[in-house]
């Protein structure tokens, strides 16, 4: 799940990269090849427009050791042509099945999209997920070759977290579940939510305590 500011495309890219490490993305595939979700939602949203979020990448892992087919597992944002930012929990526990980055479109199953193999996965050395307290949920992915940044694909920008004010209108976008009992969408979804005080998240037991975190949502079922 990615978050971007709603004022213009530049601010969308800015917040997306910053908040990707804070908001949970889509969790690992189960053995039945059904995607399990770790509180990753784009509820009551709508389909993103073509090229609206050119920095969002679908991370897909091989379904088995033959690597003849891949399934969407997590999202990532583009740091530059050779590196991506994703969430550490996507790669925990680690395994040997290969990964690819699929980019250049909104549908995870679009045959016209491009793909590049993931060469190395660097999980934050202090990543921890215990007792529902997730810290340093960040991973840097090195691509096997450089992707072409042609406008349809673009790198995200940066923003210091202290500059995100309460009430700022942000956009959550990704392939997270829209309904708990339904499969994940194949199309990129988005929804606008406000940044709210951290106490709002703690009131529903989200244990948001780090100054590196933010709380976003309107309490009306838009995202989570």
Domain CATH code at residue 124? 2.40.10.10
Is residue 214 situated within a structural domain?
A: no
Is residue 150 situated within a structural domain?
A: yes
Check if the beta carbon of residue 39 is closer than 8 Å to that of residue 47: no
Is residue 199 situated within a structural domain?
A: yes
Q: Which of 110, 100, 107 is nearest to 70 (CA)?
A: 100
Among 40-54, 90-104, 171-185, 193-207, which stretch is predicted with the lowest mean pLDDT? 171-185
Q: Which residues pair with 58 in a beta bridge?
A: 75, 102
Is residue 84 situated within a structural domain?
A: yes
| pLDDT tens per residue across span 167-218 | 888 888 888 765 555 667 788 888 888 888 888 777 776 666 666 777 887 7
Q: Which domain holds residue 78?
A: 46-204
Q: How confident is the model at residue 88 (pLDDT cuts 50, 70, 90)?
A: very high
Is residue 127 situated within a structural domain?
A: yes
Is residue 217 situated within a structural domain?
A: no
The residue that leads in pLDDT, 157 or 115, is 115
Rounded-to-integer distance, Cα 142 and Cα 101, Å: 10
| pLDDT tens per residue across span 126-175 | 998 877 677 888 999 999 999 999 988 999 877 666 667 888 888 888 88
Q: How confident is the model at residue 24 (pLDDT cuts 50, 70, 90)?
A: very low
Is residue 198 situated within a structural domain?
A: yes
Q: How many domains does the chain have?
A: 1
Is residue 155 situated within a structural domain?
A: yes
The residue that leads in pLDDT, 171 or 87, is 87
Check if the beta carbon of residue 57 is closer than 8 Å to that of residue 90: no
């Amino acid at each position: 799940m990615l978050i971007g500011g709603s004022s213009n495309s530049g601010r969308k890219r800015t917040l997306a990269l910053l908040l990707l490490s804070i908001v949970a993305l889509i969790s690992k595939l189960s053995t039945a090849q059904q995607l399990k979700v770790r509180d990753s939602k784009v509820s009551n949203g709508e389909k993103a427009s073509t090229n609206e979020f050119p920095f969002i990448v679908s991370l897909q892992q091989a379904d088995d050791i033959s690597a003849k087919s891949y399934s969407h597992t997590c999202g990532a944002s583009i740091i530059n042509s050779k590196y991506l930012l994703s969430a550490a929990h996507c790669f925990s526990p680690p395994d040997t099945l290969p990964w690819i980055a699929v980019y250049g479109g909104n549908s995870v199953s679009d045959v016209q999209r491009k793909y590049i193999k993931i060469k190395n996965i660097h999980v934050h050395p202090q990543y921890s997920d215990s007792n529902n307290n997730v810290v340093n949920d960040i991973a840097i992915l090195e691509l096997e070759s450089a992707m072409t940044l042609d406008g349809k694909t673009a790198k995200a920008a940066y923003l210091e977290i202290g500059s995100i004010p309460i009430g700022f209108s942000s956009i959550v976008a990704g392939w997270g579940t829209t309904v708990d009992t339904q499969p994940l969408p194949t199309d990129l979804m988005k929804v606008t939510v406000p940044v709210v005080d951290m106490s709002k998240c703690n009131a529903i037991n989200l244990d948001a305590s780090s100054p590196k975190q933010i709380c976003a949502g309107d309490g009306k079922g838009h995202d989570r």
